[in-house]
């Protein structure tokens, strides 16, 4: 299938699909005339990439995680790379949460000051 069809079936823009390819997340074959040729399995692959990215994983981490996905059985087997990437993401989220809690505390202090 061509990139437009993949975009239609996966509901992911052509621009984003090209970006995923640039980032080493998709490896389409090329036709004789140079058109990208995607497989049916690529529909699930790009949906998975999008879900992982929405969950907070960077594309760099997702690139490491994708080999853990067994497309034939549509089963996820957490591999070492996935666990490392997930731990990195969780640490970054914890840092953001801590900063947000500090900001909230400062704002509450300002709100409660008598002036």
CATH number for domain 3-112, candidates 1.10.1660.10, 3.30.43.10, 3.30.1330.30, 1.10.3720.10? 1.10.1660.10
- pLDDT for the residue 50: 93
Q: Where are the domains of the chain?
A: 3-112
Cα–Cα distance measured from residue 86 to residue 70, given in angstroms and rounded to the nearest whole number: 18
| Beta partners for residue 70, in sequence order | 75
Of 30, 73, 28, 31, the closest CA to residue 46 belongs to: 28
Output the furthest CA–CA distance in the chain (Å, rounded). Answer: 75
For 32-89, write each residue's pLDDT tens digit: 998 999 999 899 899 989 998 998 888 988 888 787 776 555 666 677 777 887 888 8
Hey, which bits of the chain come out as E strands?
29-30, 36-37, 69-70, 75-76
Number of neighbours of residue 43 by Cβ within 10 angstroms? 18
């Amino acid at each position: 299938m061509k990139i437009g069809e993949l975009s239609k079936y996966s509901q992911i823009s052509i621009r984003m699909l090209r970006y995923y390819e640039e980032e080493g997340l998709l490896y389409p074959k090329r036709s004789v005339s140079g058109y990208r040729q995607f497989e049916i399995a690529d529909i699930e692959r790009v949906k998975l990439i999008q879900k992982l990215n929405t969950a907070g994983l960077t594309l760099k981490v997702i690139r490491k995680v994708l080999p853990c996905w067994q497309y034939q059985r549509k089963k996820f087997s957490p591999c070492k790379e996935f666990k490392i990437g997930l731990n990195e993401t969780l640490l970054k989220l914890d840092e953001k949460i801590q900063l947000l809690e500090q900001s909230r505390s400062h704002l509450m202090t300002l709100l409660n000051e008598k002036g």
